[in-house]
């Protein structure tokens, strides 16, 4: 744990990846055991602190994963985590199947989820509040007695706190007293706003100043990354999330956004901070392995994250890259791109000539040069004609149009250049 005072921005944050468990619940993906092992290897290379491998016993795939992981995975930087839940209502930890499976998984670290909302305890579990607290505390104590590092995922913590703060804090306190190593506050339904996270983080850190607090958010209100960042600003030392934001419904907090925000904007260190330049490559590797389209508009790692289209923007970018970028794309392994389109200006075309190393053929060429203006008009006319004649619309179609236009424009460069040379 960082020596930072409870409730203050920590110097170091642990990144806990749950792509292989929560992320696998994304609609439309199915990871094989081989996929999971390959992803785990790359997560280790990237340097996340923890890799949640799955829920042992929940399905044959996760059982096989933990069996094979024990011999096939040689993790250098990350620790593998087995996930499960607390003991059942009225049950005994000693013969609880889920807790037994967690031990059988053979990992040093386990994470258990338990209900932290009075409503869910009384309505979903149909039991009393005291039993709700005991289920959590007994399970943590049992796993600790078997020498495990135990994280407690406090399910529905934020919603539960809003309804009955006393109960939600009682469950957390029970987990802490039983020896939980990190109390992870979950925004399970993903509907909490950053202001509420701030308020509840402050109250929780005040109540449990000695505890390590973590955060696990979902993106249902579009706040997954924001809520994780805000929680860290108020003392969370562990962030649970998934890469590319995979997960059920609208997904989990996207670690492709969380990690650079923490490292670049807040100055927090994490295990893999020297590998931040591999983030974009990892994000694309994950999409390919999961066989899912890579979202080109993802912050930091998307193909469009540093793509400039407006002529005025590109003109300014050539003068100073910071004019329309919040960070250097190279820092996260991404690339700056200037798009040629009907919205381009002379600077884009002149820049493309420069990129193609053709600019030196036309002495004194710049964004106002007649050849550049001529080419620019052709690009605009061509885009108009292609769209009109092909009737293309929508993001996919437009991308194709841009590819066609870029190609056509480049093909037109050579005759233009030749004409310039003849005239010179």
Residue 22 vs 212, nearer CB to Zn ion: 22
Near Zn ion in 184-203, by CB under 5 A: none
Residue 219 vs 298, nearer CB to Zn ion: 219
| Least Cβ distance, residue 206 to Zn ion (angstroms) | 25
Residue 14 vs 22, nearer CB to Zn ion: 22
Sign of CA dihedral 15, 20, 22, 23: positive
Q: Which residue is nearest to Zn ion (CB)?
A: 22
Total residues interacting with Zn ion, rule: CB under 5 A: 1
Q: Using an 8 Å Cβ cutoff, are 40 and 79 in contact? A: no
d(CA 65, CA 53): 7
d(CA 96, CA 83): 15
DSSP states of 366-394 as a string? -TT-HHHHHHHHHHHHHHHHHHHHH---H
Q: Using an 8 Å Cβ cutoff, are 9 and 268 in contact? A: yes
| Least Cβ distance, residue 186 to Zn ion (angstroms) | 6
Q: Does 383 bind Zn ion (CB under 5 A)?
A: no
| Least Cβ distance, residue 84 to Zn ion (angstroms) | 14
Helix (H, G, I), strand (E, B) or coil at 186: strand
Among 14, 17, 22, 155, binds Zn ion (CB under 5 A): 22
Residue 188 vs 298, nearer CB to Zn ion: 188
| Least Cβ distance, residue 358 to Zn ion (angstroms) | 52
| Least Cβ distance, residue 153 to Zn ion (angstroms) | 8
| Least Cβ distance, residue 218 to Zn ion (angstroms) | 6
Report angle CA 353, 358, 363 to the nearest 5 degrees. 100
Q: Please name which of 111, 99, 45, 37 lies closest in space to residue 68, comparing C-alpha atoms.
A: 37
List CB contacts of 107: < 8 A, sequence separation 6 or more: 53, 66, 79, 80, 81, 82, 148
Q: Which stretch binds Zn ion (CB under 5 A): 16-24, 78-86, 104-112, 115-123?
A: 16-24
Residue 22 vs 233, nearer CB to Zn ion: 22
Near Zn ion in 141-160, by CB under 5 A: none
Residues at the contact surface with Zn ion, assessed by CB under 5 A: 22
């Amino acid at each position: 744990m960082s020596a930072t005072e409870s409730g203050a921005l920590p110097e170091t944050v642990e990144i806990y990846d749950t792509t292989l468990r929560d992320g696998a619940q994304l609609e439309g993906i199915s990871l094989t055991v081989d996929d999971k092992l390959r992803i785990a290897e790359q997560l280790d290379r990237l340097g996340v602190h923890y890799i949640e491998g799955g829920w042992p016993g929940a399905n044959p795939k996760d059982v096989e994963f933990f069996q094979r992981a024990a011999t096939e995975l040689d993790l250098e930087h990350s620790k593998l985590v087995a996930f499960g839940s607390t003991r059942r209502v009225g049950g005994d930890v000693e013969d609880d199947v889920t807790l037994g499976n967690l031990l059988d998984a053979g990992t040093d670290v386990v994470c258990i989820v338990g209900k932290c909302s009075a409503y869910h305890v009384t309505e979903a579990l149909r039991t009393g509040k005291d039993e709700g607290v005991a289920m959590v505390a007994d399970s943590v104590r049992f796993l600790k007695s078997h020498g495990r590092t135990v994280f407690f995922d406090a399910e529905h913590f934020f919603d539960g706190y809003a309804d009955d703060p006393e109960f939600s804090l009682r469950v957390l306190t029970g987990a802490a007293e039983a020896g939980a190593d990190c109390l992870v506050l979950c925004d399970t339904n993903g509907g909490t706003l950053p202001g509420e996270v701030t308020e509840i983080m402050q109250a929780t850190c005040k109540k449990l100043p000695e505890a390590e607090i973590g955060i696990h958010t979902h993106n249902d209100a579009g706040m997954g990354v924001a809520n994780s960042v805000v929680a860290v600003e108020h003392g969370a030392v562990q962030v649970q999330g998934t890469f590319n934001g995979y997960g059920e419904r609208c997904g989990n907090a996207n670690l492709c956004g969380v990690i650079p925000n923490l490292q670049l904007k807040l100055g927090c260190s994490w295990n893999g901070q020297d590998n931040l330049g591999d983030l974009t490559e990892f994000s694309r590797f994950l999409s390919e392995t999961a066989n899912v389209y890579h979202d080109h508009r993802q912050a930091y790692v998307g193909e469009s994250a540093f793509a400039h289209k407006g002529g005025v923007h590109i003109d300014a970018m050539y003068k100073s890259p910071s004019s329309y970028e919040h960070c250097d794309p190279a820092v996260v392994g991404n690339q700056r791109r200037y798009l040629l389109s009907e919205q381009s200006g002379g600077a884009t075309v002149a820049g493309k000539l420069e990129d193609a190393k053709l600019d030196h053929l036309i002495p004194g060429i710049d964004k106002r040069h007649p050849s550049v203006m001529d080419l620019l008009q052709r690009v605009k006319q061509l885009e108009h004609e292609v769209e009109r004649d092909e009737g293309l619309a929508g993001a996919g179609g437009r991308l194709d149009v841009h590819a066609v236009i870029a190609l056509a424009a480049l093909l037109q460069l050579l005759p233009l250049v030749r004409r310039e040379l003849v005239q010179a």
